[in-house]
Amino acid sequence: MEKLKCKICKFESTNLISHISKYHKVKIFEYRQKYGDEKVIIVSDETRKKLAANNLGKISVFSLKYWINKGYTEEAAKREISIRRPTNIKYWINKGYTEEAAKHQLYLQSTKSTGKKSLIEIWGEKEGTKKFNDRIPKCRILSKRCIEYWMNIGYSKEESESKVSENQNTFTLEKCIKKYGEHIGTEIYNKRQLNWSLKMKNKTDDEKIRINKLKSVCSIKSLIEKFGEEWKNKYIEYNLYDTEVSNIIKNIVLNKLSLEESIHIIHEKIKIYDYTKLKSIFNSKIIKHVFNFTDDDVKKSIRILMSMYGLSNRNGIFGTLVVYRNYLFKSICEYKLCLFFEKENIDFLYENQYPNQNPINKRKKIKYDFFIPRLNLYVEYAGLYKNKSYMDKMNLKKQFCLNNNLNLYVSNDILDIQTHILKLLNEKNNND
């Protein structure tokens, strides 16, 4: 029988797939791309005849037809398919696993997909939900579509965003040729384009318009590269619709309004305070880009508008909310501490994140109440000292500061905080 010869080492066999993959550590498509779509396996006439006789050449073991052709009933065929799937507990039990070990294998399988329903079925409502929530940040580190994956292996945030963008590029002929070689890549691309055109023929005109509009939605970066100064008009055309919020954003962007003018326009157009609408305006990508906004800038702008709506005092979970000088204080006591700092000419930062934090989930980062740069001191006003969950979080902050050598002062007494700070300032002035 004819044999194939390996182009790398001249090894001869009727099947070179295992040899190329294991011995040379080369992927098959790379081998075929380099050596011109060479054959890597020869199927004997006898094997071809057997496949044709059993009609199994193109039928998967996971299809009903496969088992029905073997004489199984439809119900028995479904059972045979089911126990061959790694997502079925019988699959692992048949392999010799105990029931508990099989459950663990199912858990590992479920982590490869969204899997919340599967986890709840396996572990119960409470434990399954907990495992699902714990899994989300870990999955982001394992997925090349998330910036956490690239940052975890040493890329900067900007480089990581660029890598994610590359992975999200449109399916193109160039990508197919690069991955599979010219002959196979072109064939795959043409087949996909043919399938797409056949599907589109069956769509209504309204569906075609909707699909083409969705395809046109582009990132700000790509629009700037493609259209230059006209990118804002194109972004509005592709991404914004005829809604109250969208019309306000269009007004701000097209008329090149300043932040102060924008805030007055928003207040004028939205007559009654609506946090959801305000947040959607300031959180829109184009507004963030135009004003170079961070999340903190978004919060500050909303706080200013709250003040304009006459919402300087609102009840919150920590007490009465107070808007003062672009700050939204969670309680009157924090507001009084701010007045004290201003009276004593003490510079401070309010409600920022503690340094040296690197949790997988950004939402789990902890914030301080006040930071005084001059004293390198973090201050926490513990107003809800009788609340167990609140104090648990406060103890977490204490432990974090202890572990990271950060100076922290915690008290539920304003006068005590003021006295302590004045004392430290006097000591510092004397030493200077």
* 54 contacts 69 by C-beta, under 8 angstroms: yes
Asked if 168 and 151 count as a contact pair (C-beta separation under 8 A), the reply is no
- 409: tokens are 């002062």
Higher per-residue confidence, 423 vs 293: 423
Query: Does residue 16 surpass a pLDDT of 70?
Result: yes
Task: Judge contact between 196 and 171, C-beta under 8 A.
Answer: no
Distance CA 197, CA 111 (A): 35
* CA atoms of 283 and 289, how far apart (whole Å): 10
The pairs formed by 207-213 with CB atoms below 8 angstroms and a separation of 24 or more are: 213/238
Query: What is residue 421's predicted lDDT score, i.e. its pLDDT?
Result: 92
Q: Which two tokens stand for residue 176?
A: 């197919």
Q: Could you give the CA distance from residue 371 to residue 368 in angstroms, rounded to a whole number?
A: 7
The pTM (predicted TM-score) of the whole model is: 0.37
What tokens were used for 22?
A: 């294991």
Is the pLDDT reported for residue 237 higher than 60? yes
Residue with more model confidence, 246 or 87 = 246
Q: Quick one: average pLDDT of 22-42? A: 77
Q: Which of 323, 322, 352, 348 is nearest to 421 (CA)?
A: 348
How would residue 314 be classed by pLDDT, with cut points 50, 70 and 90?
very low
* Band (225; pLDDT cuts 50, 70, 90): confident
Pick the more confident residue, 174 or 424: 424
Residue 375 has pLDDT above 80, yes or no: yes
Bigger pLDDT: 58 vs 149: 149
> Tens of pLDDT along 98-138?
887 777 777 666 555 456 666 666 667 777 777 776 665 66
pLDDT interval class at 326 (50, 70, 90): low
Amino acid at 374: R
Beta-bridge partners for 313: 322
Percent of the chain clearing pLDDT 70 (strictly above): 78
pLDDT of residue 121: 63
Q: What is the pLDDT of residues 38-57, one digit of tens each?
A: 777 777 777 666 656 655 44
Tokens representing 364 are 């789990």
Q: Specify whether the CB–CB gap between 344 and 337 falls below 8 A.
A: no
Quickly list DSSP for 263-318. Answer: HHHHHHH--S--HHHHHHHHTSHHHHHHHT--HHHHHHHHHHHHHHTT-SEEEETT
CA distance 296 to 352: 9
Give the integer Cα–Cα distance in Å for 223 and 286.
11
Q: How would CATH label the architecture of 313-432?
A: 3-Layer(aba) Sandwich (3.40)
Q: Tell me the pLDDT of the chain averaged across its residues.
A: 77
> What is the CB-side half-sphere exposure of residue 385 using CA atoms within 13 A?
8
Delimit the domains of the chain by residue range. Answer: 313-432
Q: How confident is the model at residue 372 (pLDDT cuts 50, 70, 90)?
A: very high
Do the strands 377-381 and 407-411 form a parallel or antiparallel pair, or are they unpaired? parallel
Q: State mean pLDDT over 170-181.
A: 77
- Give dist(CA 307, CA 302) in Å, integer: 9
DSSP letter (8 states) at residue 19: I
Predicted confidence (pLDDT) at residue 377 exceeds the cutoff of 90: yes
Whether pLDDT at 382 is above 80: yes
pLDDT on residue 56? 47
Q: pLDDT grade, residue 260 (50/70/90)?
A: confident
